[in-house]
Structure 1
Amino acid sequence: MSETPLPPACRVRPAVLLDDEALGELDRATWSTLHAVMPRPQPPYAPFFDDQHGPGDFLVAEVRDAADEPRLAGYIRLVPPTPLACNSHVRQIQGLAVAGWARGRGVARTLLRAACATARGDGANRITLRVLGHNAPARALYASEGFAVEGVLPGEFFLDGRYVDDVLMGRSLAP
């Protein structure tokens, strides 16, 4: 199945504080046990950005709507996996979400490629992520973009009445 190309007005940009509400809504709308290990968010909702998750950690994809207004289509969170200097050459994807209306249009792939380019631009030479074993669509996307399984933590999570593996994936950012 080929993906429908994104409209020419699609762009990826760094998140800003003003994205908080839209990102929170997107995060809640896309919550699923296919990728989430935390319980479903319940009102009253906490702000999307907090002391551990600032705008500087996120890239967002925008698509212009019929009125030529930007509409948030997805986000990816890209951070150093640890604060250690000896690990500063690595970036880790710690979240990726795409709005339901934007799925199948290449938004996740665009965000993933932008995250790799951003990490490379920040001096990283390696990028990693964790994905739930039963999330076949995400695993296929990551594999198609050069990520390889580097480890599996069997039965690491208990979700919806069953044990689910935590799959560790990574790839080089070298040209």
Structure 2
Amino acid sequence: MPEPRIRTAQADDEEELAALDRAIWSPLHAVMPRPTPPYPPFFDDRHPPEDFLVAEAGDARTGRRLLGYIRLARPTPLAANAHVLQIQGFAVAEEARGRGVGRALIRAAAGLARERGARRLTLRVLGHNTPARGLYESEGFAVEGVLPGEFFLDGRYVDDVCMGRSL
């Protein structure tokens, strides 16, 4: 698979991103119930397109498709916390996993966070999501805290793992 192009999301990506989000839903990474119709909008006032980076394959001639996305947002509205950005959404299409798409999105998000003046990048990941945790660790994130049994998912209690890194 050729290297995906990483770009800021645009309003017309909404339908494709929403479909991707529904397709990859899993209790491995989702704390919300499986989406069912009627589906809410993917973009809204709290989740505008400019908060998302997307990985895109193809071109106008061959047809483009989105392989994944990552969302950066401020974890709080506090001025004392303005130097921190948080990954608050991350998805890679099943067929693109293990091909560097997720890594490219994380690296692009770190670069964008730096451009936006952030000194730290944080995230939260479910304790049983071993593949994601391994990817984050390989990109310099460290476990900074664990909320034991924070979620009850798929019949069992799951830890919420807080990770972060300096930029």
1:116 matches 2:107: no
1:31 matches 2:15: no
Secondary structure of 1:50's match? coil
Distance 2:32 2:40 in 1: 14
Instruction: Tell me the matched-pair count.
Output: 167
1:160 matches 2:154: yes
1:68 matches 2:75: no
Distance 1:55 1:67 in 2: 25
How far did residue 104 of structure 1 move?
Answer: 1.2
How far did residue 69 of structure 1 move?
Answer: 2.0
1:91 matches 2:124: no
Q: Which residue, 92, 95, 100 being the options, matches 1:106?
A: 100
How far did residue 52 of structure 1 move?
Answer: 1.4
Distance 2:158 2:59 in 1: 38
Secondary structure of 1:108's match? helix
- Per the alignment, residue 49 of structure 2 pairs with 55
Alignment identity in percent? Answer: 71
1:7 matches 2:2: yes
1:141 matches 2:159: no
How far did residue 45 of structure 1 move?
Answer: 1.2
Q: Could you list the per-position Cα deviations for residues 82-124 of structure 1 after superposition, in whole angstroms to 9, with x for gaps in the alignment?
A: 1111111000001110011111110000000000000001110
How far did residue 44 of structure 1 move?
Answer: 1.4
- Per the alignment, residue 3 of structure 1 pairs with none
Structure 1 alignment gaps of length 5 or more: 1-5
